[in-house]
Amino acid sequence: MNGAMTVDGKIATTGGDSKISSKEDLVRVHKLRASVDAILVGISTILADNPRLTVRLVKGSNPARVIVDSRGRLPIDSQIICTASKIKTIVAVTDQAPEEKIHKLEDMGAQVLVVSKGERGQSAAVPHGVNLKELFHRLEKMRLRRILVEGGGELNWSLLRLGLVDELTVAIAPKIAGGRLATTLVEGDGFEEIAQSIRLELGKVERNKTGELLLHYKLV
Ligand SMILES: NC(=O)c1ccc[n+]([C@@H]2O[C@H](COP(=O)([O-])OP(=O)(O)OC[C@H]3O[C@@H](n4cnc5c(N)ncnc54)[C@H](OP(=O)(O)O)[C@@H]3O)[C@@H](O)[C@H]2O)c1
């Protein structure tokens, strides 16, 4: 899992601006993308940013893109779908996605996986979301084993809560965005007590030329 956040933990501003880290850090992210089998993101990130999720700033091949989108809201004119005939694109939906939309996505070159609904406790905010454990099994069978999660906060919570994350890298930009409605690195329901929280082990700590701090953690 990788994310770029401000010192106050925001991964986007209240206005939805998520361009937090420097070009230098983006180069690191593109290198990371070139080293994985697939990138996984939540549908709200696509709707907010309309990203391409490709390798552009370094040499390397594009990994598959996997969008977690239970209701099939991924726009047909999104950059992801417009490039789906060239770059492997998987849309993980549940039975809530309209069949007609599934066909449209497939016509554009995307592969649609109909996955069961998530277990209760995955996230109260997304009670009928995609069953992420099942999705990971299906991706593994498709030989997509090294997965880079690029957010947003809701998807990050569900994956961390289910114990599906091995490593976390956070780029902390020397900025403060504020705003109680700004999305943070991990959203979801949260824990009531620190004793319940997810434990991390700090590995490498780096500081880049832009003054950003890179923290590499392993999940305990
Ligand atoms: N700075 C960064 O590093 C960075 C990186 C990524 C995103 N962002 C920002 O983060 C914001 C979006 O984050 P977000 O937290 O609002 O949304 P998100 O995590 O991108 O997407 C959440 C949505 O995914 C769908 N979903 C389906 N199954 C799910 C499951 N099991 N668990 C969780 N979600 C599931 C749900 O929508 P349905 O119910 O419709 O399926 C859910 O509302 C944007 O502003 C984006 O710019 C920043």
Which residue's CA is the nearest one to ligand 1's atom 1? 11
Any ligand 1 atom below 6 A from CB of 13: no
Task: Reply yes or no on whether the pLDDT at 125 is more than 80.
Answer: no
Query: Which of the four pLDDT bands, split at 50, 70 and 90, describes residue 128?
Result: confident
Q: For residue range 4-62, list pLDDT tens digits in order.
A: 999 999 999 999 999 999 999 999 999 999 999 999 999 999 999 999 999 999 999 99
| CATH class of this structure's domain 2-219 | alpha beta
Query: Which of the four pLDDT bands, split at 50, 70 and 90, describes residue 209?
Result: very high
Mean pLDDT of the chain: 96
Any ligand 1 atom below 6 A from CB of 154: yes
Any ligand 1 atom below 6 A from CB of 169: no
The residue extents of the domains of the chain are 2-219
> Which residue would you say has higher pLDDT here, 152 or 122?
152
pLDDT reported for residue 117 = 86
Task: Report the distance separating Cα 189 and Cα 212, nearest Å.
Answer: 29
Task: Reply yes or no on whether the pLDDT at 121 is more than 90.
Answer: no
pLDDT reported for residue 118 = 80
Ligand 1 atom nearest residue 187's Cα: 15
The β-bridge relationship of strands 38-42 and 2-6 is unpaired
Task: Reply yes or no on whether the pLDDT at 119 is more than 80.
Answer: no
Task: Reply yes or no on whether the pLDDT at 120 is more than 70.
Answer: no
pLDDT reported for residue 174 = 98
Q: How many A from CA of 126 to the centre of ligand 1?
A: 10
Ligand 1 atom nearest residue 153's Cα: 15
Any ligand 1 atom below 6 A from CB of 94: no
Share of the chain above pLDDT 70, in %: 97
Task: Report the distance separating Cα 35 and Cα 61, nearest Å.
Answer: 8
Do residues 101 and 141 touch, judged by C-beta distance below 8 A? no
Ligand 1 atom nearest residue 17's Cα: 47
Task: Report the distance separating Cα 32 and Cα 194, nearest Å.
Answer: 31
Peptide bond into 153 cis (omega under 30): no
Any ligand 1 atom below 6 A from CB of 158: yes
Q: For residue range 14-25, list pLDDT tens digits in order.
A: 999 999 999 999
Any ligand 1 atom below 6 A from CB of 72: no
Report CA-CA distances (Å) from 191 to 121, 159, 195. Answer: 12, 14, 9
Do residues 39 and 12 touch, judged by C-beta distance below 8 A? no
Task: Reply yes or no on whether the pLDDT at 122 is more than 70.
Answer: no
Task: Report the distance separating Cα 176 and Cα 25, nearest Å.
Answer: 17
